[in-house]
Structure 1
Amino acid sequence: MGGIGQETVDLARLVHNVHEQGFTALDKVGLEGQRDQGLVSTLISRDLSGSDDLCVSWGKILPGQHHLCHHHPDASEFYVVISGTPMVHLGGTTYRAKPGDAIYIPRGTSHGLTNDGDEDVDLVVGVSKPADWQFIPDE
């Protein structure tokens, strides 16, 4: 086969599965030394996929965990809630999200998540840079 858009691709580099990748703990620290909480599995990034324009991950916030409020001066972000009903902190507003919600976080906007429920919160997370965005804690 040939033609436009028919080049051979490296599926091992372009296709990643959350169940095969596994999760790592978030590792940021807040303004008073508090630890960021939650798990992440990076699925698309510069290093993993060769992306030059975005990073996509699967996030998991366990019951009782809080993903620190922070902002990115150099990147926008989005969340798509897959399961659970987290409290989303977005700018000066806090609200209860539900599965199916898509949340756009403009560059520079403070945001974070609290799982005060009994089930895991699963979400797809996207950032408008493939790597190396700044994480500035707001709490």
Structure 2
Amino acid sequence: MSKYLDGGITRNGEGEGGTAWNILGQRYFPKASCASTFAFETNSDPGQHVPVHIHPHQDEFILVQEGELQLKLDGVWQTARAGDLVRMPRGVPHGYFNKSDKPCRALFWVSPAGRLRELFETLHDMTDIPAIVAASKAHDVDFLPPEANE
């Protein structure tokens, strides 16, 4: 990963260099990456989610572009709709869930970038949940027990 951000435009519906990842059925597109930040688009169909987890070394943000997401942020359920910005400080448990009947598209970014892009490259097309949790932990993302999602 480059130390500095490259200038340019990453087109709507595309990832840098044409890259797209399938992470448990959700489509992720890397939008920009360098040492200080990593931005990616997610496309979540109804019922899809990322369970509650912690980034111990990164602040994370979500800009909802279409649809809505239900978030569990530090134990509190909240809803973010198109145009809303979600701020998730490092070390604070959070997860997102599309509990609506419509798809959701959102732009996420973390700062600093850490190893999140490398994690997504590893998770692409993986389906074994224990292996996904282990790979995530090895890349500085710690999932909480399933009851944290309730």
**Normalised by the shorter chain, which TM-score bucket?**
0.7 to 0.9
In the other structure, the counterpart of 2:79 is: 96
Higher helix share: 2
In the other structure, the counterpart of 1:135 is: 141
Q: For 1:7-86, what aligned pairs fall within 5 Å after superposition?
A: 14-21=8-15, 23-26=20-23, 38-45=26-33, 51-86=34-69
Over 6 Å off, 4+ runs: none
Residue-pair matches, total: 114
CA contact 2:64–2:104 (8 Å) conserved in 1: yes
TM-score by length of 1: 0.73
Q: What is the RMSD computed on CA atoms of the aligned residues?
A: 1.9
In the other structure, the counterpart of 2:93 is: 110
Q: Measure, in 2, the Cα distance between the counterparts of 1:38 and 1:110.
A: 21
CA contact 2:52–2:94 (8 Å) conserved in 1: yes
Q: Percent identity at matched positions?
A: 25
Higher strand share: 2
CA contact 2:71–2:77 (8 Å) conserved in 1: yes
Q: Measure, in 2, the Cα distance between the counterparts of 1:114 and 1:52.
A: 28
CA contact 2:58–2:114 (8 Å) conserved in 1: no
- Structure 2: give runs of 5+ residues left out of the alignment: 1-5, 117-139, 146-150
TM-score by length of 2: 0.68
- Structure 1: give runs of 5+ residues left out of the alignment: 1-9, 27-35, 46-50
Q: Measure, in 2, the Cα distance between the counterparts of 1:131 and 1:39.
A: 21
CA contact 2:72–2:96 (8 Å) conserved in 1: yes
